Chain A
Amino acid sequence: MDMVVQFGPQHLALAEPERFKVHTEGEKVVDVEVAVGYNHRGIEKLAERKTFEQDILLVERICGICSMSHPVAFTQAVEDIAGVDIPERANYLRMIIAELERIHSHLLWAGIAAEIIGIETLFMYIWKDREYVLDQLEIITGNRNHYAWNTIGGCRKDITEKHIPPLLTALEVVERRTEYYIDAFLRNRTIRARLVGTGILPREDARKLCTVGPTARASGYAVDVRKDDPHLAYDKVDFAEIVLGEGDNMARAKVRLLEILESVKIIRQAAKAIKGLPEGDIAVPVAEIPPGESVGRYEAPRGEVFHYVKSNGTFYPERVKVRAPTYSNIQAVPTMLMGDTLADVPISLASIDPCFCCTDR
């Protein structure tokens, strides 16, 4: 029975609207048509109308959970144009919040994946543990998402002595629970039946389509901006790049869960490092942005976030180009879905950790 099943724009498996027309023969997928653009808000055009400082708030609101990715990439590009080096403490501060965001984003994804394959209990447990991380973010920055942590030249607020102990306690809880979830994902028979061997993305396709982030790393294509293009303070801390070879949904789940443990390691090292740096030295004043252009790259939880900023010497940027990781990864979706059954489509779609509002801007 040949059918066209349309996933979206409204669908329970997708958090945001995009249209996937899946052509099936019986339950087997034979073709996928992807249509994007349901979330397009014209952010790039708007960015040319706002000043550089206003643009930090604008790009932060491209997405809710990638809300540290875009400001850091943008400010890095602008700081490159201005030729300033931000203080070392500011780098560590940005890195701590960035890794906290990575932890809560990966936990969010793990909960959603569990819910889509039907085991909603795991979804409830994981999101409860995510609350510990969000509480810490709220205590430190004042908000659970959209932290307003960055300015051109550094950070806006500091992490003081009294913030560190509750942060480390929360991280211990998160680490213990993540190890339990890794065990649950790897050993529960029904979860394995759904995730292993479905949504396979071979390494050659991942490389040819230039996918990024955990989607690429799970297929054996080792791209990680934290290692390739060391920014913030990633060259000063010790962590592993998780690269697996199978490229199926279970590999992508494993990569994300193991990355949570690496992020905990990074935050612990960063918290120790900022003890030795003078408090308060968190930003340098940047008077004006000379004409020029540069590129800011940042490893978001979903992959490489890319900002190209061109300045013409005025207060307003000449051109701001934003490329979110899902923009690259969504082109790998037809390859992943081909040949699988209809039941695998929602979980394969969710396994690239899609953020369609970032894609469409």
Chain B
Amino acid sequence: MFPYRWPVLIRVSAVRIGDLMDVQPFISVLIVPGLLFTSVMAFLYAGMYRKVRARMQNRRGPPFVQPFYDFIKLLSKDSIKPEKSGMLFTWAPIIALASVLIVPILFPIGGLSFAGDLIVVIYVLNVSAIMLAVGGFSSGSPFGAVGGSREVTQLFAYELPLAISMVAVAVKASSFSLVGIAGAQEAGGMFFYQLPFACIAFLSIIPAKIGLQPFDIPEAEQEILGGPFVEYSGYRLAIFTFANQVKYFVVISLAVILFFWRNWWQFLITGFLLWLLFIFVKIISARVKTDQSFVFFWQYMGILALVDLVRVVI
């Protein structure tokens, strides 16, 4: 057909489709803040991570789009499946990615939302962490098994302060949905100075959740050869790594929504600043041991979050 007819055709069909059904969910899921936006932000966060780390270490560092190049390269490589591994070896990274991609759809920047989606967020992030452990256990290597067991132990450790601080925020905002929490902050001011202890507790579990020093115990490269990642290669590793990078963006954004929300562009800026803070903390820290991290999260951070929960409830 003649090319100048296409725009007319598309415009007509968009109007028609828009009459028939609601386009907004598709945009939310696929574009903003869904798949496209999240992927771009994930690669941006990962690129920032490598560049800032390099510059602080007297190096030049790779270009900002390097994580994207790495992803494409990994897709072209051979993905070897160890003989002793099971079916979950392939499915763990896929489920991890799928679960962590659900969370941005619920963000209050044009996403879908429903009452109680904060609980969904907590559970879905846990699924992603458990898939890390499952991937480790299903690799058939003792290093993977050690990494998997460390991940489960650490999950058990930081769940407590995480859950308590999130519940404190939800009670303060009188709502268990992200949109509700954002709305409460727009009305009453950011939560980080109203719930400082919960904020500190939540920020302290972020390195554990996304795998950065001082709490990147499951992925310890030098000790257990990468833990759960040790046997992964090719497209499976690409998916797993991408899931991790999306987790960087998702968890930081969650922190911003829960404690630092004002509006959507300030959300982006605060996200970047918070990410810079965590990169900095990673650069100056060594990695602690499992028992030390357990004591830290259960005793110190758990009690801190509890203080704020009690304050808010009373």
Contacts and interface: CB of A to CB of B under 8 A. Distances in A.
Interface string A109-134: 00000111111110011001000000
A124 B143 CA distance: 27
A12 interface: yes
B122 interface: no
B126 interface: no
Interface string B274-314: 00000000011111111110000000000000000000000
Given A3-B145, A5-B143, A6-B142, A13 B288 contact: no
Contact of B288 (A116, A121, A193): A193
Interface string A2-14: 0111100001110
Interface string A321-361: 00000000000000000000111111000000000000000
B221 interface: yes
Contacts of B41: none
A190 interface: yes
Main SS class of interface, A: helix
B31 interface: no
Contacts of A3: 142, 145-146
A336 to B, nearest CB: 16
Contact of B290 (A4, A115, A343): A343
A116 B287 CA distance: 9
A346 B291 CA distance: 17
A341 B58 contact: no
Given A3-B145, A5-B143, A118-B220, A11 B225 contact: yes
A191 interface: yes
Interface residues of A, number: 31
Interface string B132-147: 0000000000110110
Given A121-B57, A121-B284, A194-B287, A345 B145 contact: no
A121 B287 contact: no
Interface residues of B, number: 30
A128 B217 CA distance: 27
Given A124-B58, A342-B223, A191 B286 contact: yes
Contact of B56 (A114, A116, A121, A193): A121
Interface in B199-223: 213-214, 216-217, 220-223
Contacts of B213: 118-119, 190
26 contacts: A3-B145, A4-B142, A6-B142, A12-B221, A12-B222, A13-B223, A116-B223, A118-B214, A118-B216, A118-B222, A118-B287, A119-B286, A121-B56, A121-B284, A124-B58, A125-B58, A188-B286, A190-B288, A193-B292, A194-B289, A341-B291, A342-B146, A343-B220, A343-B223, A343-B290, A344-B289
7 tightest A-B CB contacts, nearest first = A118-B287, A124-B57, A190-B286, A119-B286, A117-B286, A190-B285, A118-B286
